[in-house]
Amino acid sequence: MNDIVKPLTSDGMCGWDEHQQLWLWELEEGGGKVGRIIGDPRGQTCRMCRQGWILTCESLKDQRYDQDNREWWHYSCYVRYIATKDRDLFDSALIGAHIRFSGWKEIPSQYWRRDPVWSKRSWYVAEANDQPIKITIGSRKRVYNIEFEPTPGTGELLFWQEAGKEFASEKVTKEFIPTRVMLHAWGGDQLKDYMKRLSKAFSLDEWAKLPKAEKVVS
């Protein structure tokens, strides 16, 4: 069943069955193998990197077809694209919350650490300018993981209890301890809302409330 009758790759692990379905098989650690039907990306180019595919199982399995726009992607390129969109969202969330921060430092995903593709959906770390707080944001499947921690050598977070009170009624995964505040936000809108509320709880937005300097007209 699902035997390849017309190989496409030299190792015979990818090819067409008797029903003209393109199968890709991979060996498992226990000695067996697992297979799935894939699309045929030959002659196509990836929307992001503008490169194509070569006739190896490793290359052919790295594919994603956007049915709505009828476009081919390398799956690894698609994940990197999602990561860049994440960074834009995180920028918007902190700026909208009036948090002054250092530039983002990109770190490997702390959730998909072992996945060869999704581990490339980076997490991002920044330091607040107005308090010794390290801010880490990253994706965990359907939620965004938000963490506030004291920068190394600075002890405890100053307003962790106030943050706990602010989110006491929220029915999400969360933790509020002196050395770590953690929340899971469901989607970009909730992420932006949570960052505004965290900014208020930690008094990170106080600078935005200061009187604006009057414009001097010469």
Q: How far is CA 87 from the centre of its chain?
A: 8
Same domain, 37 and 140: no
Q: How far is CA 158 from the centre of its chain?
A: 28
Cβ–Cβ under 8 Å, residues 8 and 55: yes
> Per the domain annotation, does 215 fall within a domain?
no
Q: 29: which residues sit within 8 A by CB, 6+ positions away? A: none
Same domain, 38 and 65: yes
Q: What is the pTM of this model?
A: 0.78
Distance set, CA 158 to CA 20, 39, 133, 204 (Å): 64, 54, 9, 11
35 or 29: which carries more pLDDT confidence? Answer: 35
First-last CA distance in the chain? 85
Same domain, 69 and 96: no
Instruction: Grade residue 215 by pLDDT with cuts at 50, 70 and 90.
Output: low
Average pLDDT rounded to a whole number, residues 72-84: 91
Of the three residues 55, 73, 91, the one that is the final residue of a domain is 73
Indicate the number of domains in the chain: 2
Lowest mean pLDDT among 138-147, 183-192, 205-214: 205-214
Domain that holds residue 41: 6-73
Q: Which two tokens stand for residue 126?
A: 């920044």
- Amino acid residing at 210: L
**Torsion angle (degrees, nearest 10) of CA 153, 151, 186, 99:** 150
Of the three residues 27, 42, 73, the one that is the final residue of a domain is 73
Same domain, 47 and 86: no
Same domain, 91 and 182: yes
Which tens digit of pLDDT belongs to each residue from 120-179? 889 999 999 999 999 999 999 889 999 999 999 888 998 999 999 999 999 999 999 999
Which tens digit of pLDDT belongs to each residue from 34-76? 999 999 999 999 999 999 999 999 999 999 999 999 999 999 9
The pLDDT value given to residue 145: 97
- Amino acid residing at 37: I
**The domain that contains 198 carries what CATH number?**
3.90.1150.20
Same domain, 51 and 105: no
